[in-house]
Structure 1
């Protein structure tokens, strides 16, 4: 199995990326929360000024534009309204007429109310919006207060009612945007320890757990790879033993028996019937001997290495002729391949050829091995009936499923492409060593 060459480095890298991501996310969330809280504080202040200070002082005279009532309101209440971050105050009626402003020249002037103001007038509560420095009322206010450069402000407006007849009015405070930003920064400072300390604390708590899991995963992967190699080595050893026993035992005995029967069939004193029967027995023995030698080569070729790979693949496709399948083998550029990779190529080719001869009903079968000094590519292609790769696999396809894992653990890829009526292609690619 391919393992991380440096799991510690990857663990540290992932941890650092996680810290950076969490810091960025928490910083953004904290900044957004601080901005909302600063604006909420200004809205709460505006609501208190509107309902507790301005509202009780608004009488009929102020609504009717009486100069004396306006002067009394200005002397008694203005100082209590211009507190904190409040830069300017305005009281509007529902028609957009300014009933009072600390910029006196605006009193009595009419300006259109936008949708936000109209909504608060109708539904109550408090609203806010960024003030447009070029809006008519703001230009008039600068002229009235003889201030030059426009200053970005936040308009916060609250519905109040006249103390006499309950007429709906708007109390609006203008708050300098820079003051709200300063307050936002102060609030954000209180979140900063959470923004920085929280992710670090979380990482300190989680790191030992992740480190332990990483170590266990690495050890398990090494153990799995060791067991897999041991299983393959044991399988190869058993294959070699069975092939050697066949060659030294049954194959040699059959070869000797077939030779003896053939020699006996040539004895002159035998009748024609006896000679014919002995010749038939000798032919059956030679056919069995050929089958056993093919089985021996299939179990484990005697010379499974770079130079012996073409011959081993030729032995694999030998049964194709008796099945009426035209088969061919082509091996090019495999000189750099290790014996382990040659064995893997042979195993995959063995399973693919076996499936093709058993199930494909093909007329042609081609086994091709190509190497470029770095990679080995195997293709086994037949023109048989094919199958649906998405359909559930039966137990007979277990060999290819096992090979998929084997090839993957060797750092390669194995793909099977097929379609009903369109043949099958088994393609494997793996490094030469």
Structure 2
């Protein structure tokens, strides 16, 4: 008899919309990641643009001050540190920087070997000092180049009122009135850099955000439709699997019934007739010996057919339960005591299809361990949690190389593995030559349900 109600049909499979919800969650997550990436990119881009603009403006300002103030006033008297020449430079620079747009001003002369001497500075104690400049700054000497960088104001020599505030340090190379190379250094505060970046963000950001949102909304119906199609495809595949398993069980019952009612009955009848005819022949005759041998062959074949019929006929999992049916495997095959150990968590309440696939996988793995592996110890584990059923069959047999094609007797495991995959589960076989074999499988139950129709 079938272990499944007759009213059950493939269309009774119902996979709740977990797949759809999961797909939509991933869709929303991906859109959120894309939106976050766009926002981050716009913020970084705005900051880079604002920073580059601030550096460019600072370089233009420094170049203008160097050309209009430093070049005309840096004459021979200035190089000789004439008080009047220094005073003229200080007066003009003070007027120019009175609005706070310039600070930490220095005019350097090349001292050779990467060193420079301060000809004039808005901080008087620095005048006359000779220090080693950075490679990039020193390279500006004798050229019309300009280098700049944003600093936090903690550099040595910064004015106290500017320390700790972000500003741009600009180094501009030029030649003074006498043609000597000089280096003009100035610090330009950047109080508007952050505000400029924020302004750019306010201008640029709405467009890509709107584009991402519009694209998300436009593709949402397509995503929902695709998710439903995938869900329908999965349900149809599992429905086909249910039909395949049920059809297989029905075919097994038919074959077992045909064996029992046909070949087995006929061979049993022949065996009885041979026994009867054999007893009527004289002892020691050649014919009697021949008939006795023929009868023995028939009896062995009958025993084999009855065993085959038992193996073919699907077990009554619905009434016996998975745990009890699996334990009976050792009894049916008349295995030695202690060869197989069972660790089964009870009670087990899986799905009918999960019952069948788990039983088939365990039976096949146990059969391979006994028939092909030459195992002396076999452990069968079955457990169930909220997600589904998981099982394990471990043996200490000869093992095999899993990288090679399936050895004789293991094709059934591959077929069962494919069925488990179609049911949403997994199965793996780990083995090595001389290291035994471990068959492990998992079958979910939380997304499967059957309904009567």
Alignment TM class, shorter chain as reference? 0.7 to 0.9
Q: Which runs of 5+ in 1 are unaligned?
A: 140-147
Distance in 2 (alpha carbons) for counterparts of 1:358 and 1:106: 98
**Corresponding residue to 1:280 among 293, 308, 315:** 293
Distance in 1 (alpha carbons) for counterparts of 2:123 and 2:392: 92
CA shift, 1:348, in A, is 0.9
Residue 59 of structure 2 corresponds to residue 41 of structure 1: no
Listed as ranges, the matches of 1:235-250 within 5 Å are 235-250=248-263
Residue 172 of structure 2 corresponds to residue 158 of structure 1: yes
1:26: which partner in 2? 41
1:128: which partner in 2? 149
Note closer, same or farther for the CA distance 1:120–1:229 as it changes in structure 2 (3 Å cut).
Answer: farther
1:257: which partner in 2? 270
Distance in 2 (alpha carbons) for counterparts of 1:216 and 1:310: 38
Listed as ranges, the matches of 1:3-402 within 5 Å are 4=19, 6-7=21-22, 9-11=24-26, 13-50=28-65, 52-54=67-69, 56-57=71-72, 58-70=74-86, 85-87=101-103, 89-95=105-111, 96-101=116-121, 103=122, 105=124, 108-110=127-129, 112=131, 114-115=133-134, 117-121=137-141, 124-130=145-151, 132=153, 135-136=156-157, 138=159, 150=163, 152=165, 153-165=167-179, 167-194=180-207, 196-204=209-217, 207=220, 210-267=223-280, 270=282, 272-273=284-285, 274-301=287-314, 303-305=316-318, 307=320, 309-310=325-326, 313-314=329-330, 317=333, 327-328=339-340, 330=342, 333=346, 336-337=349-350, 339-360=352-373, 362-364=374-376, 366=378, 368=380, 370-371=382-383, 376=389, 378-389=391-402, 391-394=403-406, 396=408, 397-402=410-415
Q: Which runs of 5+ in 2 are unaligned?
A: 1-14, 447-453
Distance in 1 (alpha carbons) for counterparts of 2:257 and 2:351: 23
Note closer, same or farther for the CA distance 1:425–1:22 as it changes in structure 2 (3 Å cut).
Answer: same
Distance in 1 (alpha carbons) for counterparts of 2:80 and 2:437: 95
Structure with the bigger RCO (C-alpha within 8 Å, sep 6+) is 2
SS at match of 1:6: helix
- Does structure 2 conserve the Cα–Cα contact (< 8 Å) formed by 1:46 and 1:157? no
Q: Deviations over 1:255-279 (max 9, x none)?
A: 2222232233333x65542443333
RMSD after superposition: 4.0
CA shift, 1:10, in A, is 1.5
1:144: which partner in 2? none
Q: Deviations over 1:78-136 (max 9, x none)?
A: 767778944564322235544445x4846845363542533443774313352645734
1:143: which partner in 2? none
SS at match of 2:205: helix
- Does structure 2 conserve the Cα–Cα contact (< 8 Å) formed by 1:417 and 1:424? yes
Aligned residues: 416
- Does structure 2 conserve the Cα–Cα contact (< 8 Å) formed by 1:381 and 1:423? yes
Note closer, same or farther for the CA distance 1:22–1:184 as it changes in structure 2 (3 Å cut).
Answer: closer
Q: Deviations over 1:170-223 (max 9, x none)?
A: 222221242333333334433333563454355356545544543443333233
SS at match of 2:19: coil
TM-score by length of 2: 0.75
Note closer, same or farther for the CA distance 1:413–1:137 as it changes in structure 2 (3 Å cut).
Answer: closer
CA shift, 1:353, in A, is 3.5
Q: Deviations over 1:222-263 (max 9, x none)?
A: 332223223223222222222222222112222222223223
CA shift, 1:14, in A, is 1.6
**Corresponding residue to 1:420 among 433, 437, 449:** 433
- Does structure 1 conserve the Cα–Cα contact (< 8 Å) formed by 2:394 and 2:438? yes
TM-score by length of 1: 0.77
Note closer, same or farther for the CA distance 1:203–1:330 as it changes in structure 2 (3 Å cut).
Answer: closer
Distance in 1 (alpha carbons) for counterparts of 2:250 and 2:142: 91
